Amino acid sequence: MTTESNRVRGTTAGTQRWQRFSIYVILIGIAILYLIPVYLLVITGMKSFAEVSQAQMWDLPSGIYFDSFTKAWLGDQKEGLRGLGMNFWNSIYLSVPATILSALLGSINGYILTKWKFRGSDVLFPLLLFGMFIPYQSILIPLVQVLSKIPWFGGSLYGTLPGLIFVHVIYGLPITTLIFRNYYAAIPNELIEASRIDGATIFSIYRYILFPLSLPGFVVVMIWQFTSVWNDFLFAVTVTGNPESQPITVGLNNLAGSYIVEWNVQMAGSLLAALPTLAVYIFLGRFFMRGLLAGSLKG
């Protein structure tokens, strides 16, 4: 009896060990597959121009060269190649203000929709949410028309970075409101009630109670918004036709679309375009995850 149960236990332990081993093999195998594009991106970006032949595509570089990055960043006047440096800064000037404005508006909307519900606020919210799912193709034509009619420093908002910021703030309203609404819903209403009895107003409640508690909410929203604004292509390519005001996704696409550009320069450019959001992901990954899950409505 005892020997039999021992044997049974022995085999299960054996199978279990084997099972765990295969789980690791599968997971690590898939992880390596996922990293292949990054490997290619990094080694190609670091190769010297002499080493860039497609037959040696997968070989490690002989040293670390930054020639490709320099060329991707500065461009090459002789070849009429525009560098991505300017586009990179455009993306910064675009993403930072757009992110801050979106977060502030989302926070106020979330506050009202959770703590100052009014008749119709439960209808307003889903109507607002629908805006984050629409294919933006269905609003692009009037958007271009309207932007070109809003005056801006002697011209119009169309084709300018402030115009693009405006667009991102507006179409970012649904998601930022959603995340803040879910976040503030977790803050007990009793807290608000109590402070109202103490004479706090709608503004002071926000300023002294909600806002100080909002830091994690702001981090989640800002990461989400920064990533989506930085990575956006459709709005950017539609609203900014002039290379001087194009963000990096459009610049990179133009760079990669021209056949005269060496592919190591394209890879270096891709790495430059990916770096800021990757950095955010690496340093603030925890919050990034939360934003992702909030994006699926039920956080």
Partner 1 sequence: MGRLTWERITAILLITPSALAVAVFVYGFIAFTAFTSFTKWNSLIPDFTLVGFENYAKLFANQRFQIDMRNTVGFTILFLIACLVLGFTLAFLLDQRIKGEGILRSIFLFPMAISFIVTGVVWRWLLNPGSENLGSTGVNLLFDKIGLSFLKWGWFTDPVVWHIPPESGIGQFLQQLGLSGLASPMVGVSAGVVSLVLAATWQMSGYTMAMYLAGLRGIPDELREAARVDGASELQILWHIILPLLRPITLSAVIILGHISLKIYDLVVAMTGPGIGFSTDVPAFFMWDTTFRGNHFARGSSIAMVLLIMVAVLIIPYLVWTTKTEAEL
Q: Which stretch binds partner 1 (CB under 8 A): 69-77, 79-87, 137-145, 149-157?
A: 137-145
Judged by CB under 8 A, does residue 126 bind partner 1?
yes
Rg (CA), the chain: 26
Binding characters for partner 1, 179-218, by CB under 8 A (x = yes): ----------------------xxx---------------
Least separation in angstroms between residue 1's CB and partner 1 is 20
Cβ burial, residue 272 (10 Å; 0-12/13-18/19+): buried
- Closer Cβ to partner 1, 154 or 177, answer by number: 177
Q: Which residues contact 74 (CB under 8 A, 6 or more apart)?
A: 83, 85
Q: Which stretch binds partner 1 (CB under 8 A): 6-14, 77-85, 210-218, 224-232?
A: 224-232
Least separation in angstroms between residue 215's CB and partner 1 is 21
DSSP 250-278: HHHHHHHH-TTS-HHHHHHHHHHHHHHHH
Is residue 196 a contact partner of residue 205, using CB atoms and an 8 Å limit?
yes
Query: Which parts of 226-265 interact with partner 1 (CB under 8 A)?
Result: 227, 230-234, 238, 249, 252-253, 256, 263
Least separation in angstroms between residue 144's CB and partner 1 is 8
Q: Which of 214, 270, 287, 294 binds partner 1 (CB under 8 A)?
A: 270
Least separation in angstroms between residue 171's CB and partner 1 is 7
Residue 126 has which token pair? 């889903």
DSSP 12-66: HHHHHHHHHHHHHHHHHHHHHHHHHHHHHHHHHHHS-GGG--GGGTTSPPSS---
Q: Which of 12, 14, 21, 23 binds partner 1 (CB under 8 A)?
A: 23
β-sheet bridge partners, residue 156: 151
